[in-house]
Amino acid sequence: MSEVPEIDQTSLPDDAVVVDVREQNEWDAGHAPNAVHVPLGDLPGSLDRLPDTDAAPVAVVCRTGGRSSRAVAWLVQQGFDVVNLTGGMKGWESAGRPLVAEGGAAPRIL
């Protein structure tokens, strides 16, 4: 398999739209404010939910980078301009990036 394109935490603006491929419970606990939630298993049937990648690549994220790396490899084959966010949401949290949670709970990364 070829190298998966990546972007590091510091290169991504706080208001960037990212595609989060984690499961529902992970998403509910904490995610990036402008993220679009498309669980990895739902990705093939949810391409219409992905942000427009014509203007710039869109970052894809999971907990630590494994699932999002697989998603990026597949999406690139489908013609999408996407990059894997290195370190995943754990890296996002460690870098002090903004987090939101569903239901008013304090955001955290599962």
Task: Determine whether 62 is an active site residue.
Answer: yes
Distance CA 109, CA 89 (A): 7
- The two counts, helices (H) then strands (E), for the chain are 3, 5
Q: 35, 60, 61, 62: which one is catalytic?
A: 62
Fill in the DSSP letter of residue 96.
T
Active site amino acids: 62
